[in-house]
Amino acid sequence: MSTKHNLPDGDGAPWNCIVGGGPVVATAIHAGHVIRKELEPSLAIEAEDRRREEDPLTDYFLSLSDNLVRVNRSRFECDMNRPREKCISDDPDDTWGLKIWRDDLSGEQKETSRQLHDRFYGEMRSLFDGLLEKHGRLLVLDIHSYNHRRDGPAAEPADERENPDIDIGATTLDKSVFGELLNVFTGELAKSPVRGRLPTVGENIRYPDGGNFPEWLFDVYGKRACVMTLEYKKIFMDEWTGALDIGAVQDLRTGLMHALRAARRELEEMNR
């Protein structure tokens, strides 16, 4: 089932949901690049520079899940992984020092983004309520990517010790309930080669404070939802040119497929 939206700005569905009914949900809430038309004249950044800070291609992994959510709007129009009051900001301190918006961004335009944020969370509440009526617990994969060559395309990449190939954000995950599932999932990821070498897999290294979306899921559903944020380092693409390494992204998807298969067995055992 695909969810449709009729929004007054006429810029298309801000997100798409496909509900298959199983106990696994995958989301790519930063995959989008679209900015609603009324905001385009206020942009102070080029499209490719903006795309670099979005999470392109994270939606490539979604089809492995039973249920999927892809946000089509740019995180800079409305960031679903931040609280309502911070979902759109013209303060460069909130956007890695980048000036995203010109000074003419109005309060009314910001409020429209906040209302979009409200609608997203309202729909997520309906989605997860419905799935939990059928399943005792859910596994939620919140899929993101991150840059590791911020000093420029010719500069040295960031220290690998603080930038694993895959970082699993488990800040809200209750290990007394889901600890074994997390261990199985992590172990499978770590033994699936990417371009002929084993990836480094970390836990709560890149973003130890988590994000608003997993925190909201935990606040609402507690131990009924096992939420893992997957932060893929952009080893599958050139973060400056956007060029894709097809072999790497396919290897990463294969690793996630194996990890998800093992985690699903754990989850189904728990739900019996």
pLDDT tens track for 66-77: 999 999 999 999
The domain made up of 15-270 is a member of CATH 3.40.630.40: yes
Has residue 6 got a pLDDT over 60?
Answer: no
Residue 270: is its pLDDT beyond 70?
yes
**pLDDT confidence of residue 21:** 82
pLDDT value at position 98? 93
Lowest mean pLDDT among 9-13, 74-78, 147-151, 152-156: 9-13
Average pLDDT score, the chain: 94
Q: Stretch 205-233: mean pLDDT, rounded?
A: 95
Residue 208 is predicted with a pLDDT of 87
Largest Cα–Cα distance of the chain, in whole Å? 56
Query: pLDDT digit string (tens) for 28-76?
Result: 999 999 999 999 999 999 999 999 999 999 999 999 999 999 999 999 9
pLDDT digits (tens, 9 = 90+) for 248-265: 999 999 999 999 999 999
Taking the C-alpha atoms of residue 135 and residue 178, their distance in angstroms, rounded to an integer, is: 15
pLDDT of residue 5: 38
* Single pTM value for the model: 0.94
Q: Where are the domains of the chain?
A: 15-270
Comparing CA positions, the residue from 19, 251, 244, 255 lying closest to residue 126 is 19
pLDDT of 173-194, one tens digit each?
A: 999 999 999 999 999 999 999 9
What is the per-residue pLDDT for 137? 96
Phi-psi region of 197 (alpha: psi -120 to 50; beta: other; left: phi over 0): beta
Torsion of CA 43, 48, 54, 58, to 10 degrees: 150
